[in-house]
Amino acid sequence: MVEIENPTTLINKDYESIELVTFAEWIEGFERLANLGVGLILEPGDDVYLIQNQLDLIDLIALDFSNFDDGRGYTQAYLLSKRWKYVGEIIGINAHLDQLQFMIRSGVTSYQLLESYKGSNEEDYSNGFSLCYQAAANNNGLNLQY
């Protein structure tokens, strides 16, 4: 077993515990980390293009949405999901209630809300509309009208 330094763990959509590495750790040691079943945390400033050819080696990618006004995560999700057809889980972490609809439609497949939103009605913000005006990574069951 290869040791992962400073592991962070996260529960994935199947309620399994999965160890996460940072983007820097992955870039530096992806050959060592490949096939260990690890997940990867992508911060908004991390260059998602650098992992484009390594997606088969990653089980889960966690996109960090903690900064409310930083929209780079939505493009990261789109590139992973729609353009590069990543089949692993794309989880939005540190997510904000009011941004769920944008995250989901950009290609995020699961999410973990920040603690402060516990008990909120997620449906109001994940799927509050009857239609959408643009084709996106995921139309989330909305009728497309454009």
Partner 1 sequence: MYKYSEKDTQFLVERVDQFEKQLNRYLSGELDEDKFRSLRLRNGLYMELHAHMLRVAIPYGILSSNQLRALADVADKYDRGFGHFTTRQNIQFNWIQLPEIANLLRDLTDVGLHAIQTSGKATRNITADPLSGLTEGEIEDARPYCELIRRWFNLHPEFSWLPGKFKIAINGAKLDETALRIHDLGLRLVKNKKGELGFSVYVGGGLGAAAMIGPETASFVPIEDILSYLESAMRIYNLKGRRDHQKKLRIKFLVRELGAAEFSRLVDEDWQQTKNDPELKLNLKELQSLKEDFELPIDPINLKGFRDEVDFNYSIWKKNNVRSHKVSGYSIVTISLTKLGSAPGDATSEQMRILAKLGDQYSSSEIRTTKRQTIVFPFVRKDEVFDLWKSLEENDLDSPHQGTLAQIVACPGRDYCDLAKAVSIPIATRVQERFNEMNKLLDIGDLNINISGCENSCAHHHIADIGLLGMQKNGEEYYQITLAGETLHETNIGKKLGPSVSSETVVDAVENIVNVFIDNRKSEEKFTDVFKRIGIEPFKEKVYG
* Nearest residue (CB) to partner 1, 37 versus 68: 68
Residue 83 in contact with partner 1, rule: CB under 8 A:
yes
* 110 is a site residue for partner 1 (CB under 8 A): no
Q: How far apart are CA 130 and CA 2, in angstroms?
A: 49
Phi, psi of 35 (to 5 degrees): 65, 15
Three-class SS state of 92? strand
The β-bridge relationship of strands 8-11 and 17-22 is: antiparallel
User: Using CA atoms, how far apart are residues 61 and 83, in angstroms rounded to an integer?
Assistant: 15
Please count the residues of this chain forming the interface with partner 1, following the rule CB under 8 A.
Answer: 33
- Residue from 18, 62, 103, 113 that binds partner 1 (CB under 8 A)? 103
Closest residue by Cα to residue 142 from 134, 91, 82: 134
Residue 94's φ and ψ, nearest 5 degrees, are 55, 40
Q: Is 25 one of the binding residues for partner 1 (CB under 8 A)?
A: no
Residues in 29-68 at the binding interface with partner 1, rule: CB under 8 A? 68
Nearer to partner 1, 24 or 129 (CB): 129
Between 10 and 97, whose beta carbon lies closer to partner 1?
A: 97
Q: Does 70 bind partner 1 (CB under 8 A)?
A: yes
Q: Of residues 23, 26, 86, 102, which one binds partner 1 by CB under 8 A?
A: 102
Beta bridge partners of 8: 20
**Residue ranges binding partner 1 (CB under 8 A):** 68-72, 74-75, 78, 83, 96, 98-99, 101-106, 124-125, 128-137, 143, 145-146
